[in-house]
Chains A and B, each alone.
Chain A
Amino acid sequence: MPPMDRLLLKNRAAIPFDDLPKISYQALGDIAVGCLCAALRPVALFGVPEERHAESVRIVALFADDAQGTLAVTSVSAQRGATVPSLTPSIPAFHLFERQLWEEFGIVPEGHPWLKPVRYPHDGHPPRRIEEGYRYFAMKGEESHEVAVGPVHAGVIEPGHFRFLCDGERVNHLEIQLGYQHRGVERLFREGPLAAKSTLAESVSGDAAVAHATAYAGLVEALGDTVIPRRASVIRAIGLELERAGIHLGDLSALCNDIGYLPGTQLFAVMRTDIINTSLVLCGSRFGRGLLTPGGVNYDIDEKKKERIIATVRRIRDNAGLLAASIFDNQSVLARFEKTGSVDTATARAVGLVGPAGRASGLTCDIRLTHPTDAYADHPFMKTILQNGEGKAAVSGDVYARAFVRHQEIQDSLRYILELLERLDAARDGIIAPVAPPRPDMIAFSLTEGWRGETLHAAVTGGDGGTRRYYIKDASFHNWFGLALAVRDNGVSDFPLCNKSFNLSYCGFDL
């Protein structure tokens, strides 16, 4: 008999909000314990203001069972300002979720070791704004000192504040304070018709525009029970894999730059240009903007486009493979990549790492494999494990592993694009289907594997079909803390290298 304390769903499912089981916060902790033995993964925990009682909040919790390909959802009723026993001390992956509940609804997780603001939301409880006087962690000792960086960084980089607590050159801890990019994204999703938010979805994190647009469109389609044409789902996947390959190429370029390996810097960068210019040919934007719309895609792939995409993808696949081979057996490169910024498997699981960063630490998380939808379900995405120096997958959790995983994923994505293009001819069912409006009083979840990892969009509709709550979790949400752990015990000057190997989103986190 399935347990009554949770409901099992598939990715992209919508259910009546009233069907959510209601349990206590302690009972939620009992489910969450499953996260410790890797049976479940915490995906989301967010508050939904109750429709008729402004002071009541329904806390919705979402877990993933990656082995079964299911999602488990449950809920807890609480009052704004209430106190609940913190789950963070036993399940660290909850630390940000609970801080967010506290920041947005004033629900206090008692016993939370680190109750600090997440993103200083303008509509929090109470409303917040970043100002002077933030209480950073401090450290005392003869050699200890602090290095403060940001919010405005030296390069063309999004804003955030990093506070390194160091012993000499060695980093003891890095405190990351974000929120500078907070611009009220979730609130804007709630205003006006949900089906008209494609551009907004693409702007949640513009470097992962296709990932967020895919999660958003899948959500709208789930809420309206819309089925998109197969051809559209293939084109979406091509857009998403182009985005992945483009960013990974750019990040390999940046990683080479940070260690002063200039051939890698320049050559990977021009390959990235080639790939993102292919997105431009596909849909008019180097970032894949405008490609997706709820119901399908806005741009088809004709024979001419297909030929161009095939030619570029084949060329880059070969050139990137050749260049990667010359980098990953270069001792001076390896000396800088290996054992820099390590996160071991247990730590990665404890803090809930996702995406390539999680995989580089030995986790198996990948929504394309575990919770596939659309093209990924029709035409399973397969991973080839490229042989590295030791003849096995890179799972050492260091900069090397994160770089090698990117290289591997470039090859996989480009091969998958070629496979998908072959399937286009058989899928001649149009590129767009009419979109039914969201059904009232529903809750839906839509997960997509973006290049950074798991990207979640979730929504609760009201009685009038309007949007009561829109919730976004970018892959960066958990991974920022992974970066903070990765730099521990490393030289402070290795921070840029560690940072680039994760390349996390500030705006996707700050919303």
Chain B
Amino acid sequence: MVFRLLRARWRHGSQAVPDPTTAMPDPMFRGFPDIAKEGAPSAEMIAACPGAALTVNPVAIDLGKCHLCGSCARAANSPIRLTNRHHLGQTRRDALIVTAGTSFEEYHARAEKGRDEIRRLFGRSLKLRSVSAAGCNACEMELNATTNANFDMLRYGIDIVASPRHADAVIVTGPVSANMADALEDTWNATPAPKLLVLMGACAISGGLFAASPALDRRFFKDHAPDIYIPGCPPHPLTVVNAILHYLGRENGR
């Protein structure tokens, strides 16, 4: 019996991603949008965009709203191409808007780092408390995946904890329903300062494809400014890990 288990174990080898800061997702992955300067999105493309992320004036995609569904990029004669560049984290809401002609490097250079105090306190140890608030559970599964044997975010001292009392940051997934609004506020209040607010996924950042629903209550974000925005639908685990590392000034993992 134990030999069968050993055989099963041996066949797997090592599955850990050797260096999450340089690893790339498969070329099929839909990430940073490359928008050509020439050409404009058609009315059909705008109408088909589920997150109302695509605009004509100016020609741009708001990654705070974009579900990276690929619909605009698949349309005929589209000026948009979704690359597999996945280091998409930002620190300012307006920095998530990608206008025509913006290169990935320009986009990435906009991401700021946390202030010195934050980097000193949390640079080597950051504990996250997750609040799942009316999303679809895919963001939650990718957040869970950051700690699995493949991505193993714990190697950087970043972990997910069970209580807000033990947390340095609250990471929100989902558009925040009226039914979850109080629980989010309570969790935030139970987390000791100084603390970070991290938004993961298009839904958390803007309400995403649920933005127009009267069942949401996003007043929490009027009072509390997010520190890190992690776009995607759901964001790839590598996107999550790298957004946090970058904020902590550890973009090369050290």
Contacts and interface: CB of A to CB of B under 8 A. Distances in A.
State whether these chains interact. yes
A159 B175 CA distance: 13
A108 interface: no
A284 interface: yes
Contacts of B148: 269-270, 273
B8 A270 contact: no
A159 B236 CA distance: 22
Contacts of A203: 135-136, 138, 209-210
Contact of A325 (B4, B143, B213): B4
A209 interface: yes
Interface residues of B, number: 66
B160 interface: yes
A492 B199 CA distance: 34
B29 A280 contact: yes
A263 B132 CA distance: 29
Contact of A505 (B71, B137, B143): B137
A326 B1 contact: yes
B16 to A, nearest CB: 9
A246 to B, nearest CB: 10
Contact of A326 (B5, B28, B177, B213): B5
A28 B181 CA distance: 40
Interface string B205-243: 000011011111000000000000000011010000000
B131 interface: yes
Contacts, number: 191
A199 B209 contact: yes
A198 interface: yes
Contacts of B150: 270, 273
Nearest to A298: B74
Contacts of A206: 135-139, 141, 234
B179 A284 contact: no
Given A152-B183, A183-B177, A183-B216, A207 B137 contact: yes
Contacts of B82: 284
A284 B144 contact: no
Contacts of B133: 159, 180
B253 interface: no
A184 B29 contact: no
B9 interface: yes
Given A156-B160, A280-B29, A182 B215 contact: yes
A385 interface: no
A475 to B, nearest CB: 14
Interface stretch (A60-68, A122-130, A342-350, A418-426): A122-130
Given A184-B210, A284-B30, A266 B149 contact: yes
Interface in A322-343: 322-323, 325-326, 329-330
Closest 7 CB pairs of A and B: A206-B138, A206-B136, A184-B215, A199-B50, A184-B213, A154-B162, A122-B215
6 contacts: A130-B179, A131-B182, A159-B133, A182-B177, A182-B178, A199-B209
Interface of A: 120-123, 129-131, 151-152, 154-159, 179-185, 187-188, 191, 193, 196-200, 202-207, 209, 263, 266-267, 269-270, 273, 277, 280-287, 289-290, 298, 319, 322-323, 325-326, 329-330, 505-507, 510
